[in-house]
Amino acid sequence: MNLLSDETRRNPYPEYDQLRSRSPLLHEPRSDSWMIFDYEGVKRVLHDHEAFSSIVAPPSSQTSQWLIFSDPPRHTQLRALIMRAFTSRAVASLEPRIRELSHALLAPALERGEMDLVTDFSVPLPLMVIAEMLGAPVEDQPRFRHWSDVILALSHTTAGGEEAARVQGEFRAVTDEMKVYLRGLVEQRRVSPKDDLLTRLIEAEVDGERLTEEELLGFFQLLLVAGHETTTNLISNAILCLIENPDQLARLAATPDLLPSAIEEVLRYRSPVQAMWRVTRHDVQLHGQEIPAGKMVMPMIGSANRDPRKFSDAHRFDITRDPNPHIAFGHGIHFCIGAPLSRLEARIALSAFLERVKGFQLASDAPWEPRKAIHVHGPARLPIRFEPGRRAAVPA
């Protein structure tokens, strides 16, 4: 089993099927971790925070400050803090700006009749949105992408070895860069507060105390990655799914109101986040086996969302699927805070793309290059070609 090979990263689902049917709970000896592949098992791990802790990073690690790697009561306090920036009203207010950015990013490619969907569209759009939410200059987006790529590569460290040491070294260097960068932004906000997420974090208190520099950096790193990676892969995977399933593309073209349902099916069919991490608090019985206390556990979300015991015709991409109880955004107390924003960005971006880009197809017969991290799924590059000459209208 090599879940990191390019072939498997493009299509992990046949391996998931074999593992789910033979051993829905599997011990991986190299990393001494346990992988769960079935829907009910994954859902239990994500929900049962009394048995499965989210504190998977060592206390000395910068990632130990991340919200997703915390348990109650600290998690409850920090989540309540960040939720203030992701209220329904706050997310809805971003719609005009997201539409404006979508049109602006598409415009240069439309006359060429070709583009790299990932580089030109699905990466910069959510990065620009999260940069503006944080109050960072949009022109710093390339720097943000580099930082995010280095952070994502941390998934290669679970098995140790030379590659893990290299990635950890790069992450330490990037963390130092981000610390200096963030310190400059924080100093600006303290002198001149603005109506942005960073100002809210600086002014917030938890248990009567302001967030430390390390806690602010943890929020910044997590928001940078989580604020764009899922949406990037959701947009890219949606176009992949529509290219691979022309009948569903025709159906969507005939009934554009199906777009929200289509997005939910992309989330299930090609889940942008394939796995999470937990640690057992005590010995846990699951599928007739015992996971010892203190062991790393990987609930495989991508496998769960293709479990035929939960989804009829699970390997069929159906934009009208109903019900569709996927768990692409997690489950339980760590359900993704940014899910409404990700859905909004995907709806606006895909609507703009489908209105203006016609006859799109992959630009090459060569297999597309996948993201390398084990816990995410989507293309690193996706060159496409289409009918040229369509100019993007200026959004109202």
Local confidence band at 395 (pLDDT 50, 70, 90 cut-offs): very low
Summarize pLDDT for 1-46 with one digit per residue, the tens: 677 789 999 999 999 999 999 999 999 998 899 999 999 999 999 9
| pLDDT tens sequence across 285-300 | 999 999 999 999 999 9
Task: Mention every residue, 6+ apart, whose C-beta is less than 8 A from residue 25.
Answer: 34, 35, 36, 37, 41, 286, 287, 289, 291
pLDDT at 87: 84
DSSP 123: T
User: Residue 271: pLDDT above 90?
Assistant: yes
Distance CA 232, CA 346 (A): 9
Distance CA 268, CA 245 (A): 15
Angle at 378 between CA 341 and CA 27, to 5 degrees: 105
What's the rounded mean pLDDT across residues 57-83? 87
Q: What is the pLDDT of residue 62?
A: 76
Distance between CA 189 and CA 198 in Å, rounded? 8
What's the rounded Cα separation, in Å, for the pair 226 and 147?
Answer: 12
Please say whether the beta carbons of 66 and 222 come within 8 A.
yes
What are the domain boundaries of the chain?
6-385
In this structure, what token pair is assigned to residue 363? Answer: 């630009």
Lowest mean pLDDT among 86-95, 199-208, 336-345, 386-395: 386-395
Residues 6+ apart with CB under 8 A from 229: 148, 152, 272, 376
Q: Which residues contact 3 (CB under 8 A, 6 or more apart)?
A: 9, 12, 15, 374
d(CA 54, CA 340): 23
The confidence score (pLDDT) of residue 392 equals 42
Band of pLDDT at residue 264, cut at 50, 70 and 90: very high
Higher pLDDT, 192 or 61: 192
CB neighbour class for 151 (10 Å; exposed up to 12, middle 13-18, buried from 19): buried
Q: What tens digit of pLDDT does each residue of 193-250 get?
A: 988 888 888 888 877 878 888 888 988 888 888 888 999 999 999 999 999 999 999 9
Residue 158 has pLDDT above 60, yes or no: no
Whether the bond into 73 is cis, omega within 30 of 0 = yes
Compute, in degrees rounded to 10, the torsion defined by CA atoms 66, 154, 12, 386. Answer: 90
Q: pTM for this one?
A: 0.93
What residues have CB less than 8 Å from 283, skipping those under 6 apart?
290, 291, 292, 293
Q: Lowest-confidence range among 50-64, 104-118, 160-174, 252-266?
A: 160-174
- pLDDT, averaged across the chain: 91
pLDDT band at 389 (very low <50, low <70, confident <90, very high): low
DSSP code at position 361: E
Between helices 95-110 and 124-134, what is the axis angle to 10°?
140
Residue 390's pLDDT is what? 52
Q: How confident is the model at residue 192 (pLDDT cuts 50, 70, 90)?
A: very high
Long-range contacts of 121-125 (CB under 8 A, 24+ apart): 121/235, 121/349, 121/353, 122/231, 122/232, 122/233, 122/235, 122/236, 122/349, 122/382, 123/228, 123/232, 125/98, 125/101, 125/231, 125/232, 125/235, 125/345, 125/349
Tell me if the domain spanning 6-385 has CATH number 1.10.630.10. Answer: yes
Q: What would the two tokens of residue 23 be?
A: 């051993």
* Token digits of residue 355: 């209105």
Distance CA 209, CA 373 (A): 36
Average pLDDT on 63-81 reads 90
